[in-house]
Structure 1
Amino acid sequence: MYDQYYGFTGRPFQLTPDPSFYFESGTHRKAMSYLGYGLAQGEGFIVITGDVGAGKTTLVGHLMNTIDPNRLTAVKLVSTQVEGDDLLRLVAEQFGLEWEGQSKAELLRSMEEYLREQARAGRRTLLIVDEGQNLAISALEELRMLSNFQLGGHSLLQIFLLGQPEFRQTLFHTPTLEQLRQRVIATHHLDPMEPEEVEPYILHRLKKVGWTGNPSFAPEAYELIFDYSDGVPRRLNVLVSRLLLFGAVEELHRISVQHVRNVIAEIEADRGIDEASLAPLPVEDVVAHAAAAVEAPVEWPAASTDDRAPFAAPAKPDFAEARALVAGQAATAGTEEVFELAPETAVAAPVAPAAPAIDEVQVAELQRQIASLEDRLVEQDAALRRVLDLLIEWVERDPENAPNPATSKVWAA
C-alpha cells in the first residue's frame, strides 16, 4: 500500500525479522562482539536476552549471514515449549536425523555420530535456540548434556540461547542449573535504542527500499517516535509503518509531529479494546470471521443458576415480558399505541409515562435487561473493530494474498 505510493521497492518496517535490514545500534554492536567472541571460542553457551521486539532474531540472522557455511553448520530451534525428551527429537530433526521409534539412548548416539562427521569434514556445529524463556528445566539440562560431546578434546557443539528478560532469572537463579551456568562463556542483554539512534535507524531502513527523501520527517517527529516506542525496534516499526500508511492515505510528503500524534491516538484507540476478552485469530480465519461478525445476531449466554456466583452470566432479556409491560403502561395512560421492543431498536421509541401503579421491580428489571443488551452490542462492535484491525495488519504483511476490496464481502460490509 504505502510502499507503492512512495515508490519503495519493499516494506521497510515489516514486523517479520529480516537480517537485510539489520541496523547496528550501540547495544547491537556490543552483542555482536560477544557473539563473535563466543564463536571464536568454539564451545559452551552464549546467552542473548532482550525485551520483546528488541531485535534478537534479526541480530542472529545477521550473524549467520556473515559466516561461511562451509566452515560452520548452524541450525535454529524456535519451538521450545517442550520437555527434555521432545527437545532432543526437535534437535535431531533439525540435524536431519531420523528420530521416530528410537529410544533416547539411540537418539543420543545418532546425534553424537552426526556431530563427529561434521567435525571430521572440518565444520563446526552451532545450535541456536530461540525463545529460551519457554524452555523447561529438563530441556535446559538436555542441552547441557549435548554440549558435553567432544572429539580430540574439542567440543562438538556450541549453543546460542536467545530469550526474553525472564530467561535470565531462570538461568542464573535456578539452583539445579549450576552446571549449565558454568558453561556460559558470554552473556549480553539487548537494551532499547538511544534517542539519537532513532533517526539513523528509520533512514537506514528507508534507504534499503529506495527512499530518496519522500516522505521527509520533521526533527520533532523523531523525538515523539522515540518517546512512544521507548526505542524498542518492533514498537518503532509498528508506529512508523502506520505513519507511512497514514501519509499515503492523506497524500503527505512530509511527516510532522502532529501527524505522529494523530497516528499514536489511532493506535491507542485500537488498544482501548479489552484484548483479554478476544481470542487471537489465525490469519487464514480473519476474513471468514469478519463476515460472520458483521451478520451474526447477538447471542446471549445462559443465565447462571447459582446465585452465589460473583460473575454470573446475565440472563437473556425476555422481550415478550418487556412488550407486555410497555403495552400495560400505554393502556394505563389512556393511549392505544403499543411500542415494540426488539434487539435492534431497544428503547428507541418513546414510552408513555408510567402510571403510579406500575411495579417498580419490573421496571428496574427491564432497565437491567436493556442495559445488558447494550453492553453486549458494544462488545460485538469492539470485536468487529479488532477483526478489521487484524485485516489491516494482514494487508500490510501480505498484500498479494489480501482480499479483493471489489469482491470481498467483508470490505463491502
Structure 2
Amino acid sequence: MFRRPRVFGALAGAGVILLALLAAPAGAQPSAGAPPDRGVYTVPAGNAAARTAVAGSGVDVLGTRDGTMTVVATPAQARSLRAQGFRLGQVGDFDAMLAERSGPPRAAAAAAEFPPGDEAYHTYAEMTEALRAAQRAYPGLARLSSVGRSYEGRELYLIKISDNVDRDEAEPEVLFTCNQHAREHLTTEMCLHLVQRFTARYATDATVRQLVDSREIYVLPQVNPDGSEYDIAGGRYKGWRKNRQGSGTDPNRNWDYRWGCCGGSSGNPRSDTYRGTAPFSAPETRAVANFVNSRVVGGSQQITAHIDFHTYSELVLWPYGYTYADTAPGMNAEQARRFADIGRRMAATNGYTPQQSSDLYITDGSVNDWMWGVHGILSYTFEMYPRTSSGLSGFYPPASVIPRETARNDAAVDVLLRAAGGA
C-alpha cells in the first residue's frame, strides 16, 4: 500500500554488500591530503560521565556501543578531546564518507530525492501520499490531520488509528513520533510501517484488531520534515541533524523540561545539540507539545504511552536523561521500576539493549523527560538499527533492510500498547 514502483532492482537483494560499502576505510583522508574539516572518530568512553564529557564538547555524536562513541569532530574539537585524555581513532573524513555513501552525482537530481539505491525510503511528498492513501483505503480506521507547521511551512501530519476513529473514546491513547533528527530516515519508515500494520492487517490479524479496538493510536512520521528534506536535497546525503531554523536547532534538546539545565545540550548555534534560544523555540517541538497538551481532557492526560524512534545503536531508553539518578523529583522508585520493567520487556522482543537514558550520557530538554515530567506519560526512545557502525552507515542503511528492521519492533510496540492500559 505504501510503495510506489522503485528502480533499485537487484540492489535490494544486495544489502550485505551495500552495507559493507557504507564505511570509508580506516584512516581515509581527504583527497588533497590536508587535515579534514570534519573527521569521523571513535572515542573509547567507558562510563556515562566520560561519554557526557565527550558529548558536551560540541562534537556530533553519531552512535554509542559497548563503551565506544563514534563522533564527528572539527580539528579543534579533536585536539580538545585529546587534551582531556581521550584517545581518538580516525575513521575517515565526514564529507568524503557522505559523498561515497551518496554515490555519483546525478545529472538532474530531484529537489528532494534519495540517492540511487535508496528510493524505497519516503520523501516528504511520498510520506504524505502514503498517509492520505491509508485514510482513503480505511476511512473507518484512519483519520489524517496536522498538529501544525514546520519552520519552512510543511504540515506536521498526524494520523489517528482506532476502530471508531471519528469519536473521542474513553480508551488509552498512545503516540508514536519519528524523525526528530533529520538524517534518521529509517524512523519515518518505522512510523509508516505502524500505520500500514494497524490498518491493512486489522481485518485479518487478531492481535492488531484487539489493540486497535481498545486503544487510540496516533502516529506522527516526521517531526522534522524540513531537516529531512534538506538532508537528501539533490539526491546527496548531508548528515544533517537539526531543523532548518537559522543555523538549526536540535529538536530533541528543545523541550521544556529541565531545558539547558545539566550539560546535556549546547548553547552554541553551530553545535549539533544546540538547544535553541528558549524552550519550544523550534516550531516543530512546540506544535507537537501543543497537541499533547490538548489531550488533557477533564484534567486527565489521555495519552498514556509514547515511543520516539531514532537511529542508531539498537537501544531502548527511558527517563530521566538529565540526571544519573534513578529517582528524582517526579520519578519515585516504583515508577522507575515500572519504566525499567516495560523497557526490558520490549527489549526482550527486538534484541535491543535496555537502559535509562542517562546511562548513555546526560541529555537535557529531551522529549522523553518532558513527556514524563510534565504529563506522566510512559515515554521511551528506541534507537533503531544498526547496532554498531564505523561511521555514517548507521544513519543511511540500505533500503533493503526497511521491511525487516521495522517489523522487528512489532512485538515491542504491542508490549507498550498493552502497558498503556496498565498491563
Q: Please classify the TM superposition score into its range, dividing by the shorter chain length.
A: under 0.3
Q: TM-score, normalised on structure 2?
A: 0.25
Which structure has greater helix proportion? Answer: 1
Which structure has greater strand proportion? Answer: 2
Q: TM-score, normalised on structure 1?
A: 0.26
